[in-house]
Amino acid sequence: MSERFQNKVALITGGSTGIGLATAALFIREGAKVYITGRNGKSLDKAATELGPKGVAIQSDVAEIADLERVRDRIKEEDGRLDIVVANAGIAENNTFGETSEAEFDKTFDINVKGLFFTTQTMLPLLSDGGAVVLTASILSGKGFPNMSLYSASKAAVRSFARSWSNDLRERKIRVSAVSPGPVQTPIMENGLKMNAEQIEQYRAMVAQVAPLERFGEPSEIAEAIAFLASDAARYITGVELSVDGGMAQV
Ligand code: NAD
């Protein structure tokens, strides 16, 4: 077992389920202390139990700057620094263009764009020089998909942040990259996209037909890519978007 993250301190937003939780578990297995955040107290408690003593759960909403400041202050008090920020919290909801409300627009952008922007900005004073930021975007950042225009546009903003911030943070040699997952079965499919079991199976069958690797990804496979970009092995990589999608972005 390698120990890529020995003595590192990481923050993973949206870390109680899905890709965030798989990433937290991998970081901890490789030596890190990991703070996870999320809005749902129950799933945070469950995740904290699963992660053990090196996983610290803090209930907080990425769309609330005061919450983010509280998270930063807690980490400062306990550890005095952060080496890695994984700004991963996000929602995916369908929207019908022509009938989309301002409230729907604001919800997606408040969490996926504003939330991610202020997560990273709020943590900057704690982030070590030479540290790493990994943003969770999506293959839809570069694709059109029916009824997903808000989500796609929000993830395009995330991809753009990686490019811009890699320049903004050059003096401190903080690297910023985005990971763009393809389809992965996580709670987001049921909770946000309101897909039932049958619809998920239809989606899985469609992906099996069109995607070069013919299957959904696993949360652990996205976690591996995030870990690579956050690790020293990626020390000459910044500003990129890495698709981890079985080739779906090429379809
Ligand atoms: P998920 O629903 O398991 O994870 C999203 C997490 O974000 C949840 O833990 C949720 O509680 C948290 N979250 C949502 N709103 C929040 C808020 N306001 N404040 C704090 N936490 C909040 O789903 P996932 O698939 O693991 O999603 C993780 C990221 O991956 C998201 O950004 C998502 O857009 C992206 N993504 C997922 C897929 C996929 O197919 N699963 C594909 C591409 C991109």
Per residue in 162-205, pLDDT (tens digit) is 999 999 999 999 999 999 999 999 999 999 999 999 999 999 99
What is the spatial distance between Cα 215 and Cα 150, in angstroms, rounded to a whole number? 25
Q: Is 128 in the pocket of ligand 1 (CB under 6 A)?
A: no
User: Known catalytic residue: 35?
Assistant: no
Q: What are phi and psi of 232, to 5 degrees?
A: -65, -20
**% helix, strand, coil for the chain, step of 5:** 50, 20, 30
Probe target for ligand 1 pocket from 19, 23, 40, 194, with the most ligand atoms within 8 Å of CB: 19
Residue ranges covered by each domain of the chain: 9-186+218-244
SS3 call for 172:
helix
Complex-level ipTM: 0.99
Q: How far is the CA of 88 from the centre of ligand 1 (A)?
A: 6
CATH of domain 9-186+218-244: 3.40.50.720
CA dihedral (200, 195, 93, 148) positive or negative:
positive
Residues of the chain falling short of pLDDT 50? none
Q: Is 36 in the pocket of ligand 1 (CB under 6 A)?
A: no
Spell out a b/e string for 43-75, using b for 16 or more CB atoms within 10 Å of the CB, else e: bbeebbeebeeebbbbebbbbeeebbebbbeeb
Check residue 1 and give its pLDDT.
60
Q: How far is the CA of 91 from the centre of ligand 1 (A)?
A: 5
- Residue 138 in contact with residue 96, Cβ under 8 Å? no
pTM of the entire predicted model? 0.98
What is the spatial distance between Cα 176 and Cα 116, in angstroms, rounded to a whole number? 13
- Three-point CA angle 215, 116, 39, nearest 5°: 80
